[in-house]
Amino acid sequence: MSDRTGREKLIIFSAAVCFAAAFFLLLWIPLSKLRFFIDFFDLITEFMSRLQQIILSIRDRWLIAAAVLGIFLVKIFIPFPVSILFMTCGMVFDTPIALLINLSGMIMLFSVRYIMGKHGKGGTVIDLLYRSDTITGILCSNNQLAKGAALVVFRLVPSFPINTVSSVYGTMRFDGRAFLLLSVVGFIPKLFFYTVAGHQIFDPFSFKFTVPLILIFSISGFSLLGVNAALGAIGKKDFGKRKEDDDDIDW
């Protein structure tokens, strides 16, 4: 019970952080109009303008694309936020091309870690997913539909370990094509909105920049609350089932 309470507090706290970030972004543009903040925001605007000029002067941008894909490979072994890569691609390339590069990088990342898990090289971090009895029950069951739904949720919620999830599903011998498809489906909102925001980062005080970030933080917050509710319902169901089994015992 204490583990479940701790999990609920952590999830609710994370959701609150997401909603707070979304609320701050709602105030971002109005704050930029206040005299008290004008000088500070002018410095940001000037810096972003210079950065844009530097990026526009780069001729061989495909070298940057190759570098970004190379950094995706680095992430196979070293964890860091992929949102930085998504926004970097959005800054350098037109949105459709940036989306293609980011999607290619994520598919490559998903695939390599899945294969590593399938061949028993997932690492001890896999144990992290099994600390929750509810998650363990889902992953260890024979219900492929439940495992697939859980995969989409793992990809959708923020800060969930990408590599660990891929390794676990490789270890479970989950169907490879279904794994890639569901991983992409769950990750698409973050990939899309961060890439779009990156393309608009040179105009940081516009709704074109803030709205994608507001949407992704809001989606993340609601998805966390949804996960918490689902885990709570499953936990209560399992507890009720165990209680019924105990009642059936002839003492």
pLDDT by 10s per residue, the chain, length 251: 455 566 677 778 888 998 998 898 888 878 777 766 667 777 777 777 777 677 767 777 788 888 888 889 888 888 888 888 898 888 888 899 999 999 999 999 999 999 988 887 555 445 555 555 556 666 666 778 888 888 888 888 877 788 888 988 888 888 889 999 999 999 999 999 999 998 888 887 788 888 998 998 998 888 888 877 776 666 565 545 544 444 444 44
Q: Which residues contact 30 (CB under 8 A, 6 or more apart)?
A: none
Q: Which three-class secondary structure state does DSSP give residue 191?
A: helix
Please give the model's pTM, rounded to 2 decimal places.
0.77
- Report CA dihedral (144, 141, 135, 1) to the nearest 10 degrees: 150
Using alpha carbons, list the distances in angstroms from residue 49 to 24, 72, 89, 158, 193: 23, 27, 17, 30, 22
Is the CA virtual torsion 164, 170, 173, 174 positive or negative?
A: positive
Instruction: Say if residues 193 and 215 touch (Cβ distance below 8 Å).
Output: yes
Tokens of 137: 């029950």
